[in-house]
Amino acid sequence: MEAVNPATGERIDTYEEADLPDVERALDDGWGAFQDWRDRPLAEREELIESAGEVLRENKREYAELMTEEMGKPVTQAVAEVEKCAWACDHYAQNAHAYLEDEHYPSPAGTEVKTVYEPLGIVLAVMPWNFPFWQVFRFIAPYITAGNVGVLKHASNVPGCAEAIEEILRDAGYPEGVFQSLLVPSDLVDDVVADDRVRAATLTGSGPAGRAVASAAGDKLKKTVLELGGSDPFVVLDDADLEAAAETGAWARNQNGGQSCIAAKRFIVHSDVYDEYTDRLVDEFESLTIGDPFDEDTDVGPQARQDLLDDLDDQVQASVDAGANVVTGGEPMDRDGAYYPPTVLTDVPAGCPADTEELFGPVATLYEVEDADAAVRKANETEFGLGASVWTEDRDRGERIARRIDAGCVYVNQLTKSDPRVPFGGVKESGYGRELSEIGMKEFVNRKTVWIE
């Protein structure tokens, strides 16, 4: 497994892939660790996740630079990602007891009836490269604190991040085997899922990857949570604050190089403000600083891999050939590294890649609609249903529109984001199940009814 710096194309390091004997040893260790970990008092597990947050904060620059080197995230955004991971650790350190408290029910005199929440065992996490720390810690913080143990199959281009996360938990004081990173190739994932010691799986990634894991798990009747792709609408109504909507919209599309499932991708704009909003949004796109991700002033770094840039450019060029208009950007930059500029497409024809596929990079598509009803129809005109954003000065109107959009989360006058305090997940082709908050923590527990006569 090779880690390559996408800003330079230079190899950083080479890592040895795990094989089936390595997997067997890891699952043995994990299952053995679970027998003790499940019985640890919750207070001790809360203290350990709090310690993990402290380790993250103490070394945040080191971890941020590792992310930047392996997948090109601007270092200031990488620091913010580490801080967000620490926040998730704090959240579950402070709230796990309340989330997992026994729930009592009415019962006959002299009896006690309640639901208790118990861990399942080993949970496999298949995680992507775009937020290489956050995606993993939003798994670790709730599910490991609930008493499960974790095995991570991280993306192959961020092996250093995978090993660093395991080291963080070790430094925080976690017992051996409670969390392990396995540098396995994708073709071994089915074997891991099928193992009897693995009781559940969660995946953040592409639709095909999600289907493969769900199919393998379903064959063994194992619980899964999937967070897949998105083509999130960013709806700008006629009474929106256009300055705020343009500034936030540019960031919502371009942060992390546009490589986010919940990035704003389809900008659906009321005809009364379409021209003005388009001008404002393009100005915001063109004001972003593209450059060395280690430069503190950089807003947009390289794409995470050259092949990802090539795929994105193919989608854009096919859309232009079909009739889409490039307002700004539109082709790879003439410089070393996998750089693609912030791009705006208008007049996007129905059925072209920019209209029907997820563009996983800094490319926005703009659509003009005549009214709010048309905006809702266009927002829902996708196979995806992860997030959405609605912009209007009328909060009640915003809520009414939000309730009509088919998505797992809708933000009014705010960009779509994940937050440890609220549930996160999608519908339709964007997956199922929820992460974070109380609901997320209870995805991988046995909700056991206990009747005491």
Same domain, 50 and 187: yes
The C-alpha atoms of residue 384 and residue 151 are separated, in whole angstroms, by 28
- Could you tell me if 298 and 341 are in contact, meaning their C-beta atoms sit under 8 angstroms apart? no
Strands 445-452 and 112-119, bridge-based pairing? antiparallel
**What digits encode the pLDDT tens for the residues 231-266?**
999 999 999 999 999 999 999 999 999 999 999 999
Count of domains forming the chain? 2
- Could you tell me if 256 and 355 are in contact, meaning their C-beta atoms sit under 8 angstroms apart? no
Which residues are known catalytic residues?
227, 261
Same domain, 164 and 247: no
> What is the mean predicted confidence (pLDDT) over 176-204?
97
Same domain, 209 and 260: no
Please give the residue range of the domain that contains residue 133. 2-228+428-452
Structural domain contains residue 419: no
Structural domain contains residue 324: yes
Same domain, 297 and 445: no
> What is the mean predicted confidence (pLDDT) over 411-431?
98
* Residue carrying the six token digits 């930047």: 68
Same domain, 219 and 242: no
**What digits encode the pLDDT tens for the residues 267-324?**
999 999 999 999 999 999 999 999 999 999 999 999 999 999 999 999 999 999 999 9
Same domain, 127 and 187: yes
Structural domain contains residue 421: no
Structural domain contains residue 199: yes
| Biggest alpha carbon–alpha carbon distance for the chain | 78
Of 73, 120, 39, whose CA–CA distance to 299 is shortest? 73
Give the pLDDT band of residue 194 (cuts 50, 70, 90). very high
> What is the mean predicted confidence (pLDDT) over 348-371?
98
The C-alpha atoms of residue 316 and residue 232 are separated, in whole angstroms, by 17
Strands 409-412 and 264-270, bridge-based pairing? unpaired
Residue 344: its pLDDT value, please?
98
> What is the mean predicted confidence (pLDDT) over 150-167?
98
Same domain, 172 and 241: no
Q: Taking the model in full, what pTM does it have?
A: 0.97
> What is the mean predicted confidence (pLDDT) over 134-145?
98
Q: How many CB atoms lie within 10 A of CB 287?
A: 11
* Residue carrying the six token digits 């891991």: 192
Q: What burial class does residue 10 get, using C-beta atoms within 10 Å of its C-beta: 0-12 exposed, 13-18 middle, 19+ buried?
A: exposed
User: Domain containing 294 — which CATH number?
Assistant: 3.40.309.10
As a dihedral over the C-alpha atoms of residue 164, residue 170, residue 173, residue 174, rounded to 10 degrees, the angle is 110
Same domain, 253 and 330: yes
Same domain, 371 and 446: no
Residue 421: its pLDDT value, please?
98
User: Domain containing 164 — which CATH number?
Assistant: 3.40.605.10
> What is the mean predicted confidence (pLDDT) over 325-335?
97
| Positive or negative: CA dihedral 262, 264, 267, 268 | positive
Same domain, 254 and 392: yes
Question: Percent of the chain at pLDDT above 90?
Answer: 100
Same domain, 214 and 278: no
Structural domain contains residue 162: yes
Specify the DSSP class assigned to residue 435: B
Structural domain contains residue 417: no
Give the pLDDT band of residue 46 (cuts 50, 70, 90). very high
- Contacts of residue 236, defined as CB under 8 A and 6 or more positions apart, other chains included, come to 242, 245, 249, 267, 268, 269, 270, 273, 277, 391
Structural domain contains residue 260: yes
Residue 186: its pLDDT value, please?
93
- If phi > 0 it is left, if psi is from -120 to 50 it is alpha, else beta; for residue 429 that is alpha
The pair of structure tokens assigned to 226 is 């999937």
Residue 204: its pLDDT value, please?
98
Structural domain contains residue 423: no
Same domain, 67 and 151: yes
Cα separations in angstroms, 174 against 48, 158, 166: 7, 23, 10
Give the pLDDT band of residue 451 (cuts 50, 70, 90). very high
The C-alpha atoms of residue 145 and residue 42 are separated, in whole angstroms, by 7
